[in-house]
Structure 1
Amino acid sequence: MNSVIPFLPLMLAALAALFLRGWARNIIMLAAPIIGGLNLLGLEHGVFWSMEFMGYALEPVKVDKLSLMFGYLFHIAALIAVIYALHVKDTTQHVAGLSYAASAVGAVFAGDLLTLFVFWELLALTSVFLIWARRTDRAYSSGVRYLIFQVLSGVLLLAGLLIFAQVNNSLLFTDIGLQHEGIAQVGAWLIFLAFGIKSAFPFVHNWLTDAYPEATPSGTIFLASFTTKVAVYAFARAYAGEEILVWIGVTMACFPIFYAVIENDLRRVLAYSLINQIGFMIVGIGIGTSLALNGAVAHAFNDVIFKGLLMMTMGAVLYKTGKINGSELGGLYKSMPKTTILCIVGAASISAFPLFSGFVSKSMIMSAAVKEGYDYVWLLLLFAAAGVFHHAGIKIPYFAFFAHDSGIRTTEAPKNMLIAMTLAAVGCVVLGSFPAQTVYALLPWEHKYQPYDVTHVLTQLQLLFFSAAAFVWLNLYKLYPPELPSTNLDADWLYRKLAPAFIKRIGCSVYGVYASIEKSITASIKQIIQNSYDAEEGKPKGYFARLWPTETMVVWVAGLLAAFLVLYYI
């Protein structure tokens, strides 16, 4: 089978979507991810395309099992997202979405750091239009903040790869690690931080919770599928086994739970949940064994499907009602029963119910943690798993479709939305029920793992049972945080509140000094003017107030020029 460059079908479709309209554009958009996915079947492992640039060997397209797994995933995600967005008539969204998907595919097949950098930046530039396409003031502001973080990540990556090119005389994208000496260690850390920003590490994660909820309903599906998963892929490729990732990952898995529980915007709840799930993946990469790495990439694969499903159901709610806050919703199961059922499937998957996709991947990571002696990490991940069930498994469907009856009556989501959600729901069930024939068959590393043994199933069912019981008890006794109209800040308080207040105080101080100096100078000038004017005679006084003939002024000018020339040559 003759194959083409992996990202080319999606990129050409984006170009076609710029000019085509109606059914012609829809057919091209649907065909691109299908053709692109089939194209991957013909790719052989190894360097597909190589070249030389400024004395460095570049491999713009390199194929192995890891890149192929993410390549298949991104084409599936692109197909589902395109179907979900077919009713949208906005050319900007279609072009940006397909270009964004093509950039993600290009990034995971990049065999060198320079090519990775190019697609890294394209990810930022194409995705921000999915936020701005909502065309609200909040969307524009969030998009700018989002772009700042993404460009910062690109700058760090560029600085790191330049250092590595200088030290190693190579730009090939292989295992990097943090165990270097001298300037090479600086380069390794810069690349690490670049990947960390795109993975939404703690304190640099607010670009995600800030921007994703402000994107368009269909744009959010693209956003939730690509950027963070490219970063997870990059970490698996370059920093597998770095123990610091274990502790960063477990922090990511735990802290979003507290914010998600009190958050009113249900899409923002899912944004926090996305960070939580990435935390599991980062832990697996940090542990670095075959089981852990397989668990990390398998969970990335499954997460795109079930998180996409949940984002799609909330997007459908927003599209039909114009509301997304839990305090304003409720009772929608009467108007949107199909969307309700599909949301529950997504909730069961993210909560890792047996026979659903989250169970077969999350358990791999937790098993690897126990096997490698990370007992405290396992306990924290267990807590994080219970928290996921609370804020995503229960809170999302409960407050959107049940809870109090908001009185909103609408109709079901458009057919293309329902089709896309159904495909994702079927994927959640198939991946969870037949992992060996689906997601496990794509895993890059050798593995022997059976998720459905008595220990795993009983442990997870007990966890889910007690977590559900806790939710019911808290609700009955009015202890569960209510859905209130509010804006919650976490680390973004530093640049939304502290920084503006600090800058304002400095600005006031500088302005005070400036005003004082200006006042002093003005008073001095007034005094000079007053001293040179005779109030009694009503005319100027003093030597310089006299009237001088033209000849005298020429002499003064000539003298000043002569003095200037002497000073210049001295």
Structure 2
Amino acid sequence: MIEAFHIEALAHISPAWPVIIGGLIAAIIPNFTLRKALALAVPVMALVLWFNPAAPGTYGIIEFGGFTLETFRYDPLSRIWGLVFIIAAFINAIYGLHEKDRLADTMGMIYAGAGLGAVFAGDLLTLFFFWELTAISSVFLIWGSRNNAAYKAGLRYLAIHILSGVLLLAGAVIRASETGSWAFDETLSIETTGGFLIFLAFGIKCAFPLLHNWLQDAYPKATITGAVVLSAFTTKLAVYALARGYAGTDILIYIGAVMTAFPVFFAVVENDLRKVLAYSLNNQLGFMVVGVGVGTELALNGAAAHAFVHIIYKALLFMSMGAVLLRVGTVKASELGGLFKSMPATAVFCLIGAASISAFPLFSGFVAKALTLAAVAQEGHVIVWFVLIFASAGVLEHSGIKIPYFAFFAHDRGLRVREAPANMLIAMFLAAALCLWFGIFYGNLYEMLPFPEAALYYEPYTFDHIVGQMQLLLGAMFAFTLLVRFGLYPEEKRSENVDSDWVYRRFGDGALRWIWAMMDRLTAAIGNVINAVGRKLGGRMFQAFSPIGALSRDIPSGLLAIWTSALLAIVLLIAYLAP
């Protein structure tokens, strides 16, 4: 029998609940203004709850069905992720104020709340609940585009994320059967079956190499606001989960290094600028995964700091491209250019986001990425360090230069449109201000990190670091200029680039079509046999029971007497022989 809910503590409520409840309420509010006011209010309520705990600890414990669900674990790691998720939810709400889509408002809030719930989850069952809720709610931000491509991409997205949840639950159950614990902490290990399945679940959501294609497939097909919201939560939640459960796992160093490098080549030739940002997102995730894999205090600080600032500057870049898509109707590089004349504010905000992701001094990316690079160097991972340096130059090329250059400056095509709506500009301004604030006043960021003592002893603005970074950035800019000047830079063409998913989608699609055809033939054959048997049996039954059938004929009295005598003899024999 299911036990009744028993809440041990009401004083400390997870910041996730007001956001999720706000989303449910939004679903039944027809009034546009009230719905938008609610979307702005719930992150503020979540922030109040985020400040509520007096000290690190586990709050919001619920006893249900013999399980203890820890809904609010408040510690330095969950604290910083929770804060940036709340900031992202608020900025996203401002950015979407112009959108009159009740479903988008509802699912946007539930998705953000589910992300917060997963970050503050103290056990694997609670994590699983919010893990799946992020998948189910976020897919509607893709389907919101209401076209066939978005519908198919959403189905693929949902399938892969449901698979991630299934692996998470299976791993948790196996681990609990082996250890008796549902704890979501550093005791997870890829050396055990349960731990490996959980690791794989996290890897899918983190877009590990060869598991990454859902990201580039789905994000560019999402709605204008949906892409911004999606960029903030799912993958960074996975980085958090890895940092919580698998810090110091060596294989993550090499997985992360590959993640930083391979998207560079795809992003250079990609024509869809939102897809370029999706590849760039993969690149940035790699830096965080490397930091988690190194596992030292400085490295984990680097992963947390990078995740914090990345959510903000990546959202800024997606917001700027969303504004372009709203006004022009496309974000294809081959069809854009010269927009700085009619969208100057958006162009400036895009440049700030580009400078941040490229790690220019005085911008947030500089002070965050420096922590990871320093930690990798300190631990002697020389080859990985060089890969990260290459990837840093690559991200400057495809996100720092390509995005603003082809959207706002190159090839003036005479596009003259209105500037982005006021609410979009306000959201971009807030994100841009935070990019500069944390780049200049980096101590405010460092003191929020999981190991603030280790961070506060690190100084990013040293002469060697500034000069080295500027040499890297200026060298990459010079190379880009030369390639463009002499016509060697890959031409922006109307094309669809092929990624590794082509292999399994191509052959998988063929295999599924063959299986479907064979099943169709088998079903048809079985149906034919059943019909034939049915017709034959039906004919025999008709011959026996129809008005002109055998049983309806007159039976001669002599024959009837013989059969009656025979049956009576059988009955008497059975009665005689019965004990």
Length-normalised TM-score, structure 2? 0.87
Superposed counterparts of 1:208-357, under 5 Å:
208-357=215-364
Distance 1:50 1:4, change over 3 A: closer
Q: Aligned to 2:129, which of 109, 118, 138?
A: 118
Which deviates more from structure 2 when the two are superposed, residues 447-456 or residues 414-423?
Answer: 447-456
Deviation at 1:495, TM superposition (A): 3.1
Q: Which amino acid aligns with 2:213?
A: N
Cα distance in 2 for partners of 1:411, 1:41 equals 41
Cα distance in 1 for partners of 2:513, 2:549 equals 52
Cα distance in 2 for partners of 1:102, 1:319 equals 27
Asked if 1:478 is matched to 2:484, the reply is no
Corresponding residue number in structure 1 for 2:35? 25
Superposed counterparts of 1:57-206, under 5 Å:
57-178=68-189, 180=191, 185-206=192-213
SS of 1:19's equivalent in the other structure is coil
Distance 1:514 1:137, change over 3 A: closer
Q: Retained in 1: the 8 A contact 2:14–2:71?
A: no
Q: Retained in 1: the 8 A contact 2:338–2:415?
A: yes
Q: Retained in 1: the 8 A contact 2:12–2:59?
A: no
Corresponding residue number in structure 1 for 2:390? 383
Which deviates more from structure 2 when the two are superposed, residues 314-323 or residues 22-31?
Answer: 22-31
Deviation at 1:322, TM superposition (A): 0.6
Corresponding residue number in structure 1 for 2:474? 465
Asked if 1:40 is matched to 2:40, the reply is no
Cα distance in 2 for partners of 1:127, 1:406 equals 35
Cα distance in 1 for partners of 2:449, 2:198 equals 25
Q: Which amino acid aligns with 2:447?
A: A
SS of 1:457's equivalent in the other structure is helix
Deviation at 1:483, TM superposition (A): 0.8
Cα distance in 2 for partners of 1:385, 1:338 equals 26
Corresponding residue number in structure 2 for 1:566? none
Q: Retained in 2: the 8 A contact 1:327–1:484?
A: yes
Unaligned runs of 5+ in 2: 1-9, 534-547, 564-579
Deviation at 1:59, TM superposition (A): 1.5
Deviation at 1:85, TM superposition (A): 0.2
Which deviates more from structure 2 when the two are superposed, residues 438-447 or residues 3-12?
Answer: 3-12
Cα distance in 2 for partners of 1:65, 1:81 equals 24
Q: Report Cα offsets for 1:281-305 as digits up to 9, x if no partner.
A: 0000000000000000100000000
Q: Aligned to 2:462, which of 434, 440, 453?
A: 453
Cα distance in 1 for partners of 2:115, 2:514 equals 43
Corresponding residue number in structure 2 for 1:536? none
Q: Aligned to 1:16, which of 15, 25, 38?
A: 25
Cα distance in 2 for partners of 1:154, 1:508 equals 31
Deviation at 1:505, TM superposition (A): 5.6
Corresponding residue number in structure 2 for 1:533? none
SS of 2:61's equivalent in the other structure is strand
Cα distance in 2 for partners of 1:550, 1:217 equals 76
Cα distance in 2 for partners of 1:174, 1:552 equals 83
Cα distance in 2 for partners of 1:25, 1:49 equals 28
Q: Report Cα offsets for 1:483-531 as digits up to 9, x if no partner.
A: 101111212102332222344466678889999x99xx9xxx9xxxxxx
Superposed counterparts of 1:404-483, under 5 Å:
404-436=411-443, 438-445=444-451, 446-447=453-454, 448-483=457-492
Q: Which amino acid aligns with 2:240?
A: Y
Q: Report Cα offsets for 1:423-466 as digits up to 9, x if no partner.
A: 00000000111111x21111011312111111111111000011
Deviation at 1:28, TM superposition (A): 1.9
Q: Retained in 1: the 8 A contact 2:14–2:120?
A: no
Q: Aligned to 1:398, which of 393, 400, 405?
A: 405
Which deviates more from structure 2 when the two are superposed, residues 447-456 or residues 88-97?
Answer: 447-456
Q: Retained in 1: the 8 A contact 2:132–2:162?
A: yes
Deviation at 1:3, TM superposition (A): 4.7
Q: Which amino acid aligns with 2:219?
A: Y
Deviation at 1:9, TM superposition (A): 1.9
Cα distance in 2 for partners of 1:14, 1:553 equals 78
Length-normalised TM-score, structure 1? 0.88
Cα distance in 2 for partners of 1:34, 1:345 equals 26
Cα distance in 1 for partners of 2:42, 2:366 equals 31
Q: Report Cα offsets for 1:371-400 as digits up to 9, x if no partner.
A: 101000000000000000000000000010
Q: Which amino acid aligns with 1:41?
A: F
Deviation at 1:15, TM superposition (A): 2.5
Q: Retained in 2: the 8 A contact 1:56–1:170?
A: no
Cα distance in 1 for partners of 2:379, 2:470 equals 24
Cα distance in 2 for partners of 1:41, 1:60 equals 16
Q: Which amino acid aligns with 1:83?
A: I
SS of 1:442's equivalent in the other structure is coil
Deviation at 1:32, TM superposition (A): 1.4
Distance 1:549 1:416, change over 3 A: closer
Deviation at 1:168, TM superposition (A): 1.2
Asked if 1:6 is matched to 2:15, the reply is yes
Q: Which amino acid aligns with 2:228?
A: I
Q: Retained in 2: the 8 A contact 1:50–1:60?
A: yes
Cα distance in 2 for partners of 1:553, 1:325 equals 87
Corresponding residue number in structure 2 for 1:368? 375
Q: Which amino acid aligns with 2:509?
A: P
Deviation at 1:187, TM superposition (A): 0.3
Q: Retained in 2: the 8 A contact 1:320–1:411?
A: yes
